């Protein structure tokens, strides 16, 4: 998670996180917040009755997206949230496997124009994620640079069930870190983490949290509050990993930031 590992990504191999998308209660306000916070550019796409789909750019590459929650989503009580997508070879096969493993298909597989095929899934512990079978759109064009996605993290009430589900579904392997933290690997590198929701965290629902790399954690925390956001977890150091904080945007979507520690040269 350093500049040295910055990737301009032509494609994402199956089992890796390939897209992140914000569903928000106020599209223009959210766009203003994130472009000011991370210095992103943006392109708005008119989706007709579905509203505007905004794709954010960093150095000319796709780095994230957002849309305004539809009336039916709000009626169902869907809160503003970031959604993480995992690249798969077949959305239909993966969705069927997930369902057979105890997951709920919130959206059955469907085509997104000629861009790809996707489904939205709630895992057996309650966390929601999406899968993406790429066609014309391969996914994020850049990761692991400052102000781009660098990590995804599962918070769950049942790490055993969660670990079993994802390793079975995507072929991930696991490694323990620091006793109570699980690292998911898709091949050799760690691509995501998992830990158990603790009572002192309050009524946190199971979820996948997105992490953005930054070059100054405390400065971004301060800027978040200046822009109308709030701090969920104050900045804290993780030895050998980096300094991180968990934040909330003005519409109440939660995300995290981390200033990664430089990795020693191999």
- For helices 27-38 and 217-226, angle between their N-to-C axes, nearest 10 degrees: 150
Q: Are 154 and 127 in contact (CB under 8 A)?
A: yes
- Domain residue ranges in the chain: 9-134, 144-260
pTM of the model: 0.94
Tell me, rounded to whole angstroms, the distance of Cα 116 from its chain centroid: 18
Say how many C-beta atoms besides its own lie within 10 A of residue 232's C-beta: 16
pLDDT band at 5 (very low <50, low <70, confident <90, very high): very low
Indicate the CATH number of 9-134 among 3.10.180.10, 3.40.50.150, 2.40.110.10, 3.40.640.10: 3.10.180.10
In tens, the pLDDT along 226-247 reads 999 999 999 999 988 999 999 9
Q: Decide whether 9-134 matches 144-260 in CATH topology.
A: yes
Highest mean pLDDT pick, 3-7, 150-154, 260-264: 150-154
State the average pLDDT over residues 45-60. Answer: 92
Q: Are 144 and 6 in contact (CB under 8 A)?
A: yes
Q: What is the pLDDT of residue 199?
A: 87
In tens, the pLDDT along 109-124 reads 999 999 999 999 999 9
Contacts of 42 (CB under 8 A, 6+ apart): 31, 35, 54, 55, 56, 57
- For helices 159-170 and 91-100, angle between their N-to-C axes, nearest 10 degrees: 150
State the average pLDDT over residues 21-44. Answer: 97
Nearest C-alpha neighbor of 17 from the set 253, 177, 191: 191
Domain 144-260 has CATH 3.10.180.10: yes
To the nearest whole number, what is the mean pLDDT of the chain?
Answer: 92
In tens, the pLDDT along 53-109 reads 999 999 999 999 999 998 888 888 889 999 999 999 999 999 999 999 999 999 999
């Amino acid at each position: 998670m350093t500049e040295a590992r910055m990737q301009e990504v032509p494609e994402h191999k199956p089992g890796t996180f390939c897209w992140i998308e914000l569903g928000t209660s106020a599209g223009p306000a959210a766009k203003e917040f994130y472009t000011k916070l991370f210095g992103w550019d943006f392109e708005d796409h008119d989706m007709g009755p579905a509203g505007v789909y905004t794709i954010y750019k960093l150095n000319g590459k796709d780095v994230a997206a957002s849309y305004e929650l539809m009336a039916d989503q709000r009626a169902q009580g869907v809160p503003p949230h970031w959604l993480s997508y995992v690249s798969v070879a077949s959305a239909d096969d993966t969705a069927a496997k997930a369902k057979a493993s105890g997951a709920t298909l919130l959206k059955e597989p469907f085509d997104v124009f000629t861009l790809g095929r996707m489904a939205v899934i709630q895992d057996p512990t309650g966390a929601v994620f999406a899968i993406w079978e790429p066609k014309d759109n391969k996914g994020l064009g850049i990761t692991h640079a400052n102000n781009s996605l660098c990590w995804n993290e599962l918070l769950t009430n049942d790490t055993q069930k969660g670990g079993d589900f994802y390793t079975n579904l995507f072929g991930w392997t696991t490694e323990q870190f620091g006793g109570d933290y699980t690292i998911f690997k898709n091949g050799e590198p760690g691509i995501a983490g998992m830990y158990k929701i603790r009572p002192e965290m309050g009524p946190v629902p199971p979820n996948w949290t997105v992490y953005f790399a930054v070059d100054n954690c405390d400065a971004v925390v301060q800027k978040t509050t200046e822009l109308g956001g709030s701090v969920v977890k104050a900045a804290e150091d993780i030895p050998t990993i980096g300094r991180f904080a968990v934040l909330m945007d003005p519409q109440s979507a939660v995300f995290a930031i981390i200033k990664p520690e430089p990795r020693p040269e191999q």
